[in-house]
């Protein structure tokens, strides 16, 4: 079985060569098509060039704008977007490189005869050679001035899409990839394609490459040192001084030779072998290496299994650089020299002399040229060659440079040639080509029985007309005369896609076919044979027949094999598809100079990292509104009923708590889920305005853990269960939770029952998760009267409110720029023992490490649920699984011990009072002392109250409340110097799902505020997320939101400062004064202090200013879009529809739009939706985003919504 | 085994029940009298565009479902199980012999009245997110008082609740990769606790209605289990404010050995069935 590969289809697009015939003509006549950069293209990019220069930090020394000469395409903007399933806007957003590749890949497949039904059975691969040219890409051009185009431009400009989009468009399922090895990329792509075919990875493979030069600026600053001085490439010539830049694209289709012959494919040439290698550590990474080139050639010849002496033509890399050409010559000389002493037997040439250097696209252009050379049995001349380069001794080598075209009569019988390409990074490739096998079995043109059916089709009407013209011309050429009618008709029928505009006719000979097509193209159709077409002016008299021709033009899939006049034949070369191209270009905004400045950015502020929550006095309620129908849940063990008395007016119903397990009769309830659900049913039917949770009215601190646990269950959990039931029953109303001196008005203020302050944390979350249940916590003292209480607790403001001495206080969030309190002292003692809960967590370890740094002579007792890895395993863990959590723990502990501190790890759950107490007692026994405690244990809250399992709720609460209680009570005798509690932002600004977490942490805050009777310094810090370690990182939460996440170093600095200066409390987190986030702060039940409020207002106002400027520009842009609306018989469209249509058209590019066309079925995608929605919002001054566009998808539906929203906002705004 | 399945609100379209009204003139006359308008005119012509309103849509769908089932022979013997999506459950009960057709129409009329009375809410169908993803989005910023309302298929979930919350949810869902987010044209947050006032109102209607043991088992879209004929009142009451468990309904039917699903009045449910594993 042969390992040869057949080239069965080819397509090129180069300056002055729109197809392979024109390309061969250019090559064989030795022309070189370098020219000045086209004026029209200069216009397209001159503003971009000026813009780039204007924003350069280092302005260019040379400010003139001059362009290189080169081998440029006249136009890179035209594209048949519709044919390739794109919207006009997508087409304009796609890299011209991608567009050329799609086009040429398609044409090469058509040339091979594989775009119609025949490709469906083939597993087809796409290999594209490509390399990014920084600063010269279309996406740079698109997004430098307007970064908002980035999402829209993504699929049209990502490197991988160059191959993938071809596979996607043609529904190809074989390997699809982009290969980047710079100038050798497409040749390496061919090598990979060959291997994939031989390995059976695919049946067919398209290899393609392309290059454009957006802005070929002449500038000393930008030269890379290989540019030709005058834009001409002169390989191996005396005057060679660099390479001329080329543009264009080429694609070829490969298949295994044996398969090609089986299937009757046309074969241009064969690929007999190839090799790829690298220079290795050569002199410089960018310089070519002769030894590697020599090895490359001999490897490729060996792979091809040919005698190198039979290679009589080499398409050399030949970049015409001063060092490149002599090295390539030497490589060839030494390689051939290993096999023969013959001189000057091998001609060389390179397409770079004709069409310039296409860099990453050059390999496939060389292969196409070589294949044409083999097929045409003619050695073409080297263009631009006059005098040999004196550094090259041609007489002493195997090669010569032909200057005229010569017939190729092989000395060895069979024609062999090679193609070389060398990448700038050192990746070299050489491919050996041979000729197509003699088609000995080529059937004598068999007589055809009767007329044959000829078909043509195109995606657009214009394309079909262009195709008919092209075929009419083609059938007048010499090449057509050699074709049989049978092959022509077979090729047209089976190897071309059936597009929607169609033509079919039965003809008896090629002459008749030519005449018919000529007549059609000239608009004559009187004397035509029966032409079937769905183009109105081509269809003959209406023929309601059921012939296959009629069915075909009606759009049906016709199985031709079943019909007469469809004899099968060979695939032959016919004209290729004629695209219906129009300009697809995203103009660089001509108002770029205005656009580059959006006014001042956010003002630079020095915002403190620390804040505090203070209680400030608020005015008392002025009067009693009445209309209250309240249900109070009371604990008869407290004086709740006396406290409540009776409301000034309205109704109060009371349910009294009975112990768990006792009978719940009328007027009673128990603090169980079941009983509270019944209470909820009662509330649902009872129509209450206020639900008063009057259970947490203890006036002394829980003396022991049992009492504490009882209170947490009775007070906190009952509020949780009740609110859960109320939410799940959809009850609307107000909850008031009463507590008595549970919170501290100020540092050191007396607190009766701190555990009840946890209700304040939970209450803040209830209203957040369920806005129909606003919840107020009313904390009272002994001076409150029922009248005052009812007036205050029924006020609409949610959140925590304290009544003290007849005055009301609420929480205010304010800056705390200075943590210090004046005096500072060290807080770690040499020889001290320090207990850290959550000790093996990220933050626990960081604190331990800081302690060890400050005072190495300490014992650190780390308590955690998971414990730490066995000390004996530390070293191995660090070595073998360095990134795992156990290794991180082991590493930090090793470091801490390295500093001199002594580490002891206890596995215990901080939420298990007995276990925690056991550890504390054990430490006291072992060390006889506890000098300080860090309570960093915690589990995050992760679910809505309405969905929260009571056990999960308790699991979050217990390490905080029970844990802190045990740490406090168990150390009452030893009086540590400090207890540091890690509290959370959740006590101030909780998110949904943090009810339990906020509750637990609020208790820690209260402990710190109230302090202890002994000298122990109790501290609580409300942390926002930490950036590098801790819960937010472990659980993948978003870090910078309303607050900026804390760096570990900053956090440690705050802890150190607070412990040193004996500050009790702080909120640690820098507000993110981002205008976009400020509105979130306003949604919390928390009053903002003056400084914070002023900064937020400023951020909002700056944002508004910037948005206003940006919107004005956006509106101008949209106003400038012209689009015609269709779809309504009366032709009347509303203003909103016209604006929405402009926004659609701005993204999609259509000149006309149907008012009822679905955005997503006319080419819109989710990436576009974002920018379209934002434009609609801007232009129509409403809130509208991509999700809204997902719901309302047509111009008219969006306009309906818009008008509705405009009405609403008019109603809302004061008049 | 075969099950007949009945769609609920959302199946309405102008022209539904064409030809059926003439075939059952007596029933149609009874319905017209009970409803106080021509049900045929509403379904076929809908001159005032009322068919989209809950108040009219529910009786119309119920009645057309029932007629179409009768046209198919109507004998329960042809099917081994009945089930219906939300409102369609009433048709399932009628088909199974647990409820009289006209009694059911009266119930549905009062149900529709009660449900239409809750107006400050919205519903949203989310395509392409799993139930877990939907539940985690209920924690998103600004999403409050939003509930899972219909578990329709592995791909389609409907949420409902507070209008602002549902809106925020829609945005969060689109950001999280939902392939489609579509607001439903209904008046309130059906099948959520926010419907409880409607449920309480409807309980009065249920109390007056008579239910029978029935001849063929019905699988409930409220519980996903076989209906206990002695608890139909509770079931229909609960249904208004709890999620439609269509996925569980279909799974239960399949576990019972049902392989063929026959839907009347459109193919809404048949499409969902193919998306349920």
Three-class SS of A495-509: CCCCCCEEEEEEECC
Same domain, B112 and B147: no
Q: What is the pLDDT of residue A1101?
A: 87
Put simply, the answer to whether A991 touches B196 (Cβ < 8 Å) is: no
Q: B49 and B95 share a domain? A: yes
Quote the minimal CA–CA distance from B180 to chain A in Å: 7
The answer as to whether B209 is a domain residue is yes
CA distance B55 to A171: 49
B234 interface with A at CB cutoff 8 Å: no
Q: Which of A1169, A1190, A1194 to mutate to test the interface with B (most CBs of B within 10 A)?
A: A1190
DSSP helix, strand, coil percent of chain B (3-state; round to 5): 50, 15, 40
Residue numbers in B near A729 (CB within 8 A): 193, 196
What's residue B176's pLDDT? 82
B39 and B175 in a single domain? The answer is: no
Q: What is the mean pLDDT of residues A715-722?
A: 97
Q: What CATH number has the domain bearing residue B43?
A: 3.40.366.10
One domain, residues B84 and B204: yes
B198 touches chain A (CB under 8 A): no
Q: Which residue has the higher pLDDT, A704 or A1035?
A: A704
Q: How confident is the model at residue A448, as a pLDDT?
A: 61
pLDDT in tens, A85-131: 998 888 999 999 999 999 999 999 999 999 877 888 899 999 999 99
- Domain assignment of residue A1111, yes or no: no
Asked whether the beta carbons of A125 and A209 are under 8 A apart, the reply is no
Q: Which residues of B touch A1204 (CB under 8 A)?
A: none
Number of residues that make up chain A: 1215
Does one domain contain both A766 and A838? no
Domain of residue B153, residue span: 122-183
pLDDT at residue A717 greater than cutoff 60: yes
Is A65 touching B (CB cutoff 8 A)?
Answer: no
For residues B207 and B169, state if they share a domain: no
CATH number for the domain spanning A541: value is 3.30.70.3290
In a domain, B45, yes or no: yes
Above 80 in pLDDT, residue A959?
Answer: yes
CB-nearest to A1187 from B142, B171, B195 is B171
Instruction: Compare A333 and A284 and report the one with higher pLDDT.
Output: A333
Residues A861 and A793 in one domain: no
Active site residue A459: no
Judged by average pLDDT, the poorest of A335-349, A780-794, A812-826 is: A812-826
The tokens for B172 are 């969060």
Angle at A103 between CA A100 and CA A109, to 5 degrees: 135
Nearest CB neighbour to A1191, from listed B164, B170, B197: B170
Same structural domain for residues A503 and A629? no
Q: Between chains, do A947 and B141 touch, taking CB under 8 Å as contact?
A: no
- Say if A1187 is an interface residue toward chain B (CB within 8 Å): yes
Interface contact B193-A730, CB threshold 8 A: yes
Q: According to the model, what pLDDT value does residue A596 have?
A: 55
Q: In chain A, what's the furthest Cα-to-Cα distance?
A: 120
Q: Considering the domain boundaries, does residue A279 fall inside one?
A: yes
Would you call A1057 helix, strand, or coil by DSSP? helix
For the segment A1087-1093, the average pLDDT, to the nearest whole number, is 91
B232 to chain A nearest CA, in Å?
20
- CB contacts < 8 A (A, B): 66
Going by C-alpha positions, the residue among A1003, A914, A907 that lies closest to residue A964 is A1003
As a whole number, the mean pLDDT across chain A is: 89
Contact A771 B144 (CB under 8 A): yes
Residues of chain B with pLDDT under 50: none
* Residue A550: its H or E element: helix A548-553
Higher pLDDT residue, A630 or A140?
A630
* Range in A209-223, A328-342, A619-633, A638-652 the model is least confident about: A209-223
Q: What is the pLDDT at residue A1214? A: 37
- Among A1041, A1117, A1067, A640, smallest CA distance to A815 is for A1067
Q: How far is it, in rounded angstroms, from Cα B259 to Cα B157?
A: 24
Rounded CA-CA distance A239/B204 in Å is: 103
Q: SS3 for A14? A: strand
Q: Do A1080 and B140 touch (CB under 8 A)?
A: no
Residues A1020, A1008: Cα–Cα separation, whole Å: 6
Burial of A1143 (0-12, 13-18, 19+ CB in 10 A): buried
A351 half-sphere exposure, CB direction, 13 A CA radius: 35
| CB-CB contact of B184 with B268 (8 Å) | no
CB atoms within 10 A of CB B25: 10
Which of B118, B138, B173 is the mutation pick for testing A, counting most A CBs within 10 A? B138
In contact, A934 and A849? CB cutoff 8 Å: no
Provide the pLDDT confidence category of residue A1213 given band limits of 50, 70 and 90.
very low
Q: Please state which of the ranges A265-274, A431-440, A1125-1134, B144-153 shows the lowest mean pLDDT.
A: A431-440
Work out the number of other CB atoms within 10 angstroms of the CB of residue A475: 22
- pLDDT score at A792: 96
Is A731 touching B (CB cutoff 8 A)?
Answer: yes
Residues of B catalogued as catalytic: 86, 191
State how far the Cα of A76 lies from the Cα of A137, in Å rounded to an integer: 13
Query: What is the spatial distance between Cα A529 and Cα B182, in angstroms, rounded to a whole number?
Result: 55
CA angle A1049, A1052, A1053 (to 5 degrees): 85
**3-state percent helix, strand, coil for chain A, nearest multiple of 5:** 40, 20, 40
Compute the nearest-CA separation of A758 from chain B (Å). 22
Task: Measure B186 CA to nearest chain A CA, in Å.
Answer: 15
Nearest CA-CA distance, residue A1139 and chain B, Å: 23
With a CB-CB cutoff of 8 Å, which residues 983-1002 of chain A face chain B?
A: 991-993
- Quote the CA–CA distance of A710 and A755 in Å, as a whole number: 11
**Minimal CA–CA distance to A847: which of A1026, A607, A1012?**
A1026
Rg for chain B (alpha carbons), in Å?
18
On whether both A321 and A348 belong to a single domain, the answer is yes
Return the structure tokens found at B3.
């099950």
- Separation CA A464–CA A539 (nearest Å): 14
Q: Which of A756, A1196, A675 is nearest to A1002 (CA)?
A: A756
Looking at the complex, report in whole angstroms how far the Cα of residue B110 sits from the nearest Cα belonging to chain A: 19
Residue A772 in contact with partner chain B when CB distance is under 8 A = yes
For residues B138 and B253, state if they share a domain.
no
Distance CA A462, CA A579 (A): 9
Residue A603 Rama label (left phi>0; alpha psi -120 to 50; beta): beta
In a domain, A1107, yes or no: no
Q: Provide the domain count of chain A.
A: 5
User: Is B25 part of any domain?
Assistant: yes
Residues B151, B272: Cα–Cα separation, whole Å = 10
Euclidean distance between CA atoms A578 and A939, whole angstroms: 67
Average pLDDT over residues A1055-1076: 90
Q: Is residue B188 in a domain? A: no
Q: Residue A1212: pLDDT band by 50, 70, 90 thresholds?
A: very low
Residue B202: in which H helix or E strand, if any? helix B196-208
Residues A846, A798 within the same domain = no
Nearest to A1190 among B135, B180, B192 (CB): B180
Q: What is the pLDDT of residue A140?
A: 86
- Percentage of chain A modeled with pLDDT above 70: 94
Structure-derived torsion over alpha carbons of residues B63, B68, B73, B76, reported in degrees to the nearest 10? -60
Touching B: A residues 751-770, CB under 8 Å: 768-770
Chosen domain end from A434, A462, A492:
A434
Catalytic residue among A68, A191, A317, A490: A317
Residue A59 pLDDT: 57
Nearest C-alpha neighbor of A314 from the set A355, A283, A284, A344:
A344
Question: pLDDT tens digits, residue range A11-52?
Answer: 999 999 999 999 999 999 999 999 999 999 998 888 888 887
* Rounded mean pLDDT, A335-361: 94
Domain count, chain B: 2
Query: Both B166 and B33 in a single domain?
Result: no
**Domain membership flag for residue A44:** no
Closest to A1034 (Cα-Cα) out of A838, A847, A862: A838
Q: Do residues B104 and B214 share a domain?
A: yes
The domain in which residue A1165 lies consists of 1121-1212
State whether residue A1204 sits within 8 Å of chain B by CB. no
Chain B residues closer than 8 Å to A991 by CB:
139, 141
Kindly state whether residues B88 and B6 are assigned to the same domain.
yes
A interface test, pick of B122, B140, B145 with most A CB neighbours within 10 Å: B145
Q: Which pLDDT value is given to residue A441?
A: 47
DSSP E strands, B34-104 = 81-84
Contact between B44 and B97 (Cβ < 8 Å): no
**Residue A146: Cβ within 10 Å count:** 17
The pLDDT score that the predictor gives to residue A103 is 97
Residue among A191, A202, A346, A357 flagged as catalytic: A357
Per the model's pLDDT, the better-predicted residue between A714 and B272 turns out to be A714
Residue of A nearest to B139 (CA): A992
Verify that A236 and A371 share a domain, yes or no: yes
* C-alpha distance from residue A329 to each of A324, A325, A420, A588, A992 (Å): 9, 6, 12, 45, 73
pLDDT band at A579 (very low <50, low <70, confident <90, very high): very high
Mean pLDDT lowest for which of A287-291, A560-564, A790-794? A560-564
Tell whether the model's pLDDT for residue A224 goes beyond 60: no
Average pLDDT over residues A64-82: 90
The tokens for B189 are 């947050």
Of B144, B170, B180, the CB nearest to A768: B144
Per the document, the length of chain B is 277
| A1190–B181 CB contact, under 8 Å | yes
Q: Is residue A201 in some structural domain?
A: yes
Token pair 């070389």 is at which residue? A420
Q: What are phi and psi of A475, to 5 degrees?
A: -70, -5
Please give, rounded to a whole number of angstroms, the shortest distance from the CA of B142 to a CA of chain A: 8
Contact (CB<8Å) A1185/B171? yes
- Residue B89 tokens, joined: 């459950």
Is residue A180 domain-shared with residue A298, that is, in the same domain?
A: yes
Three-class SS of residue B177? Answer: coil
Looking at residues A1190-1215, what average pLDDT do you find? 71
Residue that wins the pLDDT comparison between A536 and A628: A628
A223 band by pLDDT with thresholds 50, 70 and 90: low
Residue A1001: give its domain's CATH number: 3.40.50.720
On the question of pLDDT at A601 being above 50, the answer is no
CATH number, domain of A659, equals 3.40.50.11460
Asked whether residue B34 falls in the same domain as residue B146, the answer is: no
Across the interface, whether the CB atoms of B181 and A770 are under 8 A apart is answered no
Are B130 and B153 members of one domain?
A: yes
Q: Please check whether residues A777 and A839 belong to one and the same domain.
A: no
Q: Taking CB atoms and an 8 Å limit, are B174 and A1187 in contact across chains? A: yes
Q: Are B91 and B137 found together in one domain?
A: no
pLDDT band of A545, cuts 50, 70, 90: confident
Smallest Cβ–Cβ distance between A771 and the set B138, B145, B170 belongs to B145
């Amino acid at each position: 079985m042969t390992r040869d590969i057949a080239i069965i289809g080819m397509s090129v697009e180069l300056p002055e060569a729109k197809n392979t015939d024109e390309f061969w003509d250019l090559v064989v006549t030795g022309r070189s098509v370098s020219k000045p950069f086209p004026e029209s293209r200069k216009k397209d990019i001159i503003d971009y060039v000026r813009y780039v220069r204007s924003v350069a930090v280092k302005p260019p020394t040379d400010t003139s704008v001059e362009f290189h000469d080169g081998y440029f395409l006249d136009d890179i903007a035209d594209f048949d977007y519709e044919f390739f399933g794109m919207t006009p806007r997508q087409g304009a957003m796609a890299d011209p490189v991608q567009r050329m590749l799609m086009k040429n890949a398609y044409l090469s497949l058509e040339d091979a005869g594989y775009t119609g039904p025949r490709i469906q059975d083939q597993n087809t691969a796409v290999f594209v050679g490509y390399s990014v040219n920084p600063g010269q890409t279309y996406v740079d051009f698109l997004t430098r001035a307007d970064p908002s185009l980035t999402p829209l431009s993504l699929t049209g400009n990502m490197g991988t899409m160059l191959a993938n989009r071809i596979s996607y468009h043609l529904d190809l399922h074989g390997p699809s990839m982009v290969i980047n090895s710079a100038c050798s990329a497409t040749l390496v792509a061919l090598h990979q394609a060959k291997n994939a075919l031989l390995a059976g990875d695919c049946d067919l493979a398209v290899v393609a490459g392309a290059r454009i030069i957006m802005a070929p600026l002449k500038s000393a600053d930008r030269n890379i040192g290989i540019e030709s001085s005058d834009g001409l490439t002169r390989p191996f010539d005396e005057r060679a001084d660099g390479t001329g830049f080329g543009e264009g694209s080429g694609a070829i289709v490969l298949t295994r030779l044996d398969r090609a012959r089986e299937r009757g494919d046309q074969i241009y040439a064969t690929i007999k072998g190839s090799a790829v290698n690298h220079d290795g550590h050569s002199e410089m990474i960018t310089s070519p290496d002769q030894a590697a080139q020599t090895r490359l050639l001999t490897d490729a010849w060996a792979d091809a299994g040919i005698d190198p002496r039979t290679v009589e033509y080499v398409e050399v890399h030949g970049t015409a650089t001063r060092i490149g050409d002599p090295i390539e010559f030497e490589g060839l000389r030494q390689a051939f020299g290993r096999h023969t002493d013959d001189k000057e037997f091998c001609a060389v040439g390179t397409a770079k002399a004709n069409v310039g250097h296409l860099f990453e696209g050059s390999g496939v252009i060389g292969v196409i040229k070589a294949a044409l050379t083999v097929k045409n049995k003619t050695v073409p001349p080297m263009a631009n060659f006059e005098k040999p380069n004196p550094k090259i001794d041609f007489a002493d080598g195997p090669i010569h440079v032909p200057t005229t075209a010569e017939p190729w009569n092989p000395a060895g019988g069979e024609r062999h040639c090679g193609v070389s390409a060398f990448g700038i990074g050192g990746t070299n490739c050489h491919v050996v080509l041979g000729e197509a096998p003699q088609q000995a079995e080529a059937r004598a043109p068999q007589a055809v029985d009767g007329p044959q059916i000829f078909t043509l089709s195109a995606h657009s009407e214009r394309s079909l007309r262009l195709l008919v013209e092209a075929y009419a011309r083609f059938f007048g050429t010499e090449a057509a005369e050699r074709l049989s009618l049978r092959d022509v008709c077979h090729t047209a029928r089976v190897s071309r896609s059936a597009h929607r505009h169609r033509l079919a006719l039965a003809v008896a000979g090629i002459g008749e076919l030519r005449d018919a097509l000529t007549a059609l193209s000239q608009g004559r159709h009187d004397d035509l044979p029966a032409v079937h077409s769905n183009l109105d002016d081509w269809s003959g008299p209406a023929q309601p027949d059921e012939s296959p021709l009629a069915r075909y033009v009606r759009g049906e899939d016709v199985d031709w094999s079943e019909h007469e006049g469809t004899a099968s034949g060979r695939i032959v070369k016919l004209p290729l598809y004629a695209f219906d191209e129009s300009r697809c270009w995203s103009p660089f905004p001509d108002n770029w100079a205005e656009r580059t400045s959006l006014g001042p950015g956010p003002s630079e502020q020095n915002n403190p990292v620390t804040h505090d929550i203070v209680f400030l006095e608020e005015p008392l309620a002025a009067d009693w509104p009445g209309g209250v129908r309240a249900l109070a849940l009371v604990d008869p063990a407290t004086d709740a009923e006396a406290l409540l008395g009776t409301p000034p007016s309205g109704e109060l119903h009371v349910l009294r708590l009975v112990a768990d397990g006792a009978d719940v009769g009328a007027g009673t309830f128990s603090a169980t889920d079941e009983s509270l659900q019944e209470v909820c049913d009662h509330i649902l039917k009872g129509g209450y305005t206020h639900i008063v949770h009057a259970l947490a009215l203890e006036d002394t601190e829980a003396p022991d853990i049992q009492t504490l646990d009882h209170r947490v269950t009775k007070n906190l959990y009952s509020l949780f269960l009740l609110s859960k039931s109320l939410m799940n029953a959809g009850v609307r109303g107000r909850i008031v939770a009463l507590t008595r001196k549970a919170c501290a008005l100020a540092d050191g203020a007396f607190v009766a029952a701190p555990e009840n302050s946890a209700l304040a944390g939970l209450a803040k979350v209830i209203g957040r998760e369920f806005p129909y249940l606003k919840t107020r916590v009313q904390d009272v003292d002994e001076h409150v009267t029922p009248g005052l209480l009812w007036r205050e607790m029924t006020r609409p403001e949610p959140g925590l409110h304290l009544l003290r001495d007849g005055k009301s206080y609420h929480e205010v969030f304010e800056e705390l720029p200075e943590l210090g309190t004046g005096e500072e002292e060290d807080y770690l003692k040499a020889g001290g023992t320090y207990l850290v809960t959550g000790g093996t967590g990220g933050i626990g370890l960081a604190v331990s490490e800081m302690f060890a740094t400050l005072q190495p002579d300490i014992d650190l007792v780390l308590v955690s649920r998971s414990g730490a890895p066995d000390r004996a395993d530390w070293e191995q863990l660090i070595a073998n699984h360095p990134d795992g959590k156990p290794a991180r723990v082991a590493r930090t502990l090793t470091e801490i011990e390295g500093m001199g501190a002594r580490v002891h790890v206890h596995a215990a759950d901080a939420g298990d009072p007995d276990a925690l107490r056991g550890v504390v007692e054990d430490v006291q026994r072992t060390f006889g002392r506890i000098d300080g405690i860090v309570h960093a244990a915690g589990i995050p809250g992760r679910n809505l109250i309405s969905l929260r399992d009571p056990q999960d709720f308790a699991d979050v609460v217990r390490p905080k409340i029970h844990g802190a209680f045990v740490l406090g009570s168990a150390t009452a005798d030893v009086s540590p110097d400090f207890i540091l509690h890690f509290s959370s932002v959740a006590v101030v600004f909780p998110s949904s799902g943090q009810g339990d977490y906020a509750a637990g942490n609020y208790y820690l805050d209260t402990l710190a505020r109230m302090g202890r009777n002994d000298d122990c310094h109790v501290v609580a810090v409300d942390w926002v997320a930490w950036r590098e370690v801790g819960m937010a990182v472990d659980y993948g939460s978003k870090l910078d939101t309303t607050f900026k996440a804390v760096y570990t170093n900053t956090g440690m600095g705050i802890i150190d400062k607070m412990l040193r200066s004996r500050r009790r409390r702080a909120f640690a987190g820098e507000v993110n004064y981002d205008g976009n986030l400020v509105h979130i702060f306003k949604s919390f039940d928390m009053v903002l202090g003056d400084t914070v409020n002023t900064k937020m207002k400023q951020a909002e106002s700056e944002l508004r200013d910037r948005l206003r400027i940006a919107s004005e520009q956006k509106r101008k842009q949209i106003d400038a879009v012209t689009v015609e609306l269709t779809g309504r018989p009366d032709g009347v469209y509303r203003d909103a529809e016209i604006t929405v249509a402009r926004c659609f058209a701005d993204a999609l590019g259509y000149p006309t739009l149907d008012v009822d066309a679905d955005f997503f079925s006319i080419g819109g995608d989710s990436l576009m939706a974002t920018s379209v929605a934002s434009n609609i919002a801007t232009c129509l001054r409403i809130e509208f985003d991509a999700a809204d566009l997902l719901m309302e998808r047509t111009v008219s539906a969006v306009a309906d919504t818009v008008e509705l929203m405009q009405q609403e906002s008019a109603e809302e705004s004061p008049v | 085994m075969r099950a007949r399945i009945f769609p609920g609100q959302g199946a309405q379209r102008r022209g539904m029940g064409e030809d059926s009204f003439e075939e059952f003139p007596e029933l149609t006359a009874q319905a017209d009298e009970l409803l106080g308008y021509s049900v045929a005119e509403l379904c076929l012509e809908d001159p005032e565009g009322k068919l989209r309103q809950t108040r009219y849509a529910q009786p119309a769908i119920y009645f057309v479902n029932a007629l179409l089932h009768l046209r198919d022979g109507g004998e329960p013997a042809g099917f081994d199980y009945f089930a219906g999506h939300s409102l369609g459950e009433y048709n399932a009960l009628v088909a199974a012999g647990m409820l009289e057709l006209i009694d059911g129409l009266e119930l549905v009329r009062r149900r529709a009245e009660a449900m239409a009375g809750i107006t400050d809410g919205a519903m949203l169908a989310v395509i392409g997110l799993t139930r877990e993803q939907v539940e985690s989005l209920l924690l998103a910023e600004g999403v409050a008082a939003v509930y899972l309302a219909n578990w329709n298929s592995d791909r389609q979930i409907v949420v409902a609740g507070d209008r602002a919350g549902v809106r925020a949810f829609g945005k969060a869902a689109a950001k999280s990769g939902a392939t489609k987010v579509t607001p439903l044209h209904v008046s309130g947050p059906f099948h959520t606790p926010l419907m409880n006032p409607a449920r309480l109102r409807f309980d009065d209607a249920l109390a007056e209605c008579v239910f029978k043991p029935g001849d063929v088992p019905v699988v409930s879209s409220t519980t996903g289990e076989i209906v206990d004929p002695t608890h139909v009142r509770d079931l229909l009451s609960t249904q208004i404010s709890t999620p439609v468990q269509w996925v569980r309904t279909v799974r239960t039917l399949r576990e019972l050995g049902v392989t063929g699903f026959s839907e009347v009045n459109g193919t809404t449910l048949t499409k969902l069935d193919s998306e349920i594993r």
